[in-house]
């Protein structure tokens, strides 16, 4: 049970997986974002205390939360949490590009990935996701991280709505297939961005990701 996430990931990586995403982008330097209160921000120089790790494990699972903390320690990025006492109301990750590049190589050479985010089921619909996204934009801007991407499964209506409300621009719908640990991979645009939305940036354009 506890290792279901790990087994699924291993299966996806070896045998293969196809996933459809709505992809969005935003420039942190030109976009919104605010220093929302009640949100703690951790990074590799300030790892979360045991109480926060325990709350993360309760909701995200032990394997997944350890994997994400390991990524943060090794590759940089940030963890944002909103807690009340021992209760975790929501969290979100800001990831550097390296861990996601295997699946999103077609999107950018180097950039920042926002996500995944989560809010407690009892706290949903109260704008927590929006606040986490707003604070994420603020933190990226502070660090001079400009080129940001975020995606959600095409069926994830609450997430898509929250992302759109936070001011991200749609880059359309994309299908990504990876097989054999990413040795075989395929990307196709299954729906173009709405008219008026600028096309996605050239993959050759490097992101400004501070001291990475
Ligand atoms: C996606 C998620 C983070 C949204 O959290 P939240 O705190 O409820 O988000 P918000 O309160 O900011 O609301 C987001 C918007 O989606 C809307 N929404 C909620 N459920 C919806 C649905 N089924 N269909 C369409 N819109 C929906 C809300 O009404 C709100 O819009 P509004 O303010 O215009 O009313 C939360 O549902 C979640 O944790 N889901 C599981 C994990 C996940 O899917 N994460 C996203 C992938 S990174």
3-state secondary structure of 69: helix
- Burial group, residue 173, by CB count within 10 angstroms (0-12, 13-18, 19+): middle
* 88-132 tens-digit pLDDT: 999 999 999 999 998 999 999 999 999 999 999 999 999 999 999
The alpha carbon of 115 and the centre of ligand 1 are apart by a number of angstroms equal to 14
The alpha carbon of 158 and the centre of ligand 1 are apart by a number of angstroms equal to 3
Residue 161 belongs to domain with CATH number: 3.40.630.30
Residue whose Cα lies nearest atom 13 of ligand 1: it is 125
- Per the model's pLDDT, the better-predicted residue between 35 and 159 turns out to be 159
The residue range of the domain holding 120 is 17-191
Is residue 135 in a domain? yes
- Confidence (pLDDT) at 2: 62
138 lines ligand 1 (CB under 6 A): no
Residue 21 has pLDDT above 90, yes or no: yes
Q: Which atom of ligand 1 is closest in space to residue 125's alpha carbon?
A: 11
Query: Which tokens hold the place of 27?
Result: 């420039």
Q: Which atom of ligand 1 is closest in space to residue 117's alpha carbon?
A: 48
The alpha carbon of 131 and the centre of ligand 1 are apart by a number of angstroms equal to 12
Is residue 142 in a domain? yes
117 lines ligand 1 (CB under 6 A): yes
- Confidence (pLDDT) at 29: 80
Find out whether 25 and 145 touch, Cβ atoms under 8 Å: no
Is residue 5 in a domain? no
Residue whose Cα lies nearest atom 28 of ligand 1: it is 125
Short-list 143, 148, 153, CA closest to 190? 153
Is residue 22 in a domain? yes
* 167-205 tens-digit pLDDT: 999 999 999 998 877 788 899 999 999 887 665 554 544
Is residue 56 in a domain? yes
The alpha carbon of 119 and the centre of ligand 1 are apart by a number of angstroms equal to 8
- Confidence (pLDDT) at 32: 76
Residue whose Cα lies nearest atom 6 of ligand 1: it is 124
- Confidence (pLDDT) at 195: 83
- Confidence (pLDDT) at 23: 98
Find out whether 63 and 189 touch, Cβ atoms under 8 Å: no
- Confidence (pLDDT) at 33: 85
| Global confidence as pTM | 0.88
Strand runs labelled E in the chain:
17-27, 40-42, 78-84, 87-96, 112-119, 147-153, 169-179, 184-191
Short-list 87, 20, 26, CA closest to 54? 87
* 30-84 tens-digit pLDDT: 767 888 899 999 999 999 999 999 999 999 999 999 999 999 999 999 999 999 9
Distance CA 152, CA 158 (A): 9
64 lines ligand 1 (CB under 6 A): no
Is residue 11 in a domain? no
Is residue 107 in a domain? yes
C-beta neighbour count of 142 within 10 angstroms: 13
Find out whether 114 and 92 touch, Cβ atoms under 8 Å: yes
| Entry field: residues in the chain | 212
Distance CA 169, CA 166 (A): 9
Distance CA 163, CA 152 (A): 9
Residue 15 has pLDDT above 80, yes or no: no
- Confidence (pLDDT) at 171: 97
Query: Which tokens hold the place of 70?
Result: 């390991």
- Confidence (pLDDT) at 205: 41
Distance CA 135, CA 93 (A): 11
3-state secondary structure of 192: coil
Q: How many domains are contained in the chain?
A: 1
Q: Which atom of ligand 1 is closest in space to residue 123's alpha carbon?
A: 7
Token pair 């929302």 in the structure block, residue = 36
Is residue 7 in a domain? no
Q: Which atom of ligand 1 is closest in space to residue 115's alpha carbon?
A: 48
């Amino acid at each position: 049970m506890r290792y279901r996430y790990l087994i699924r990931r291993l299966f996806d990586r070896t045998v293969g997986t196809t996933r459809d995403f709505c992809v969005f982008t935003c420039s942190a330097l030109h976009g919104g974002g605010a220093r929302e209160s009640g949100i703690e921000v951790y990074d590799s120089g300030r790892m979360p205390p045991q109480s926060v790790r325990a709350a993360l494990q309760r909701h995200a699972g032990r394997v997944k939360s350890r994997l994400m903390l390991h990524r943060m320690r090794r590759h940089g990025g940030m963890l944002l949490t909103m807690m009340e006492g021992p209760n975790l109301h929501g969290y979100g990750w800001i990831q550097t590009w390296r861990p996601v590049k295997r699946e999103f190589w077609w999107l950018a050479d180097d950039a920042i990935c926002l996500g995944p985010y989560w809010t407690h089921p009892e706290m949903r619909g109260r704008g927590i996701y929006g606040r986490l996204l707003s604070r994420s934009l603020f933190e990226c801007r502070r660090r001079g991280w400009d080129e940001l991407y975020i995606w959600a499964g095409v069926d994830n209506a609450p997430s898509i709505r929250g992302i759109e409300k936070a001011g991200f621009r749609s880059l359309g719908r994309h299908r990504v297939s990876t097989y054999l640990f990413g040795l075989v991979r395929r990307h196709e645009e299954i729906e173009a961005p709405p008219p008026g939305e600028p096309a996605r940036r050239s993959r050759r354009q490097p992101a400004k990701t501070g001291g990475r």
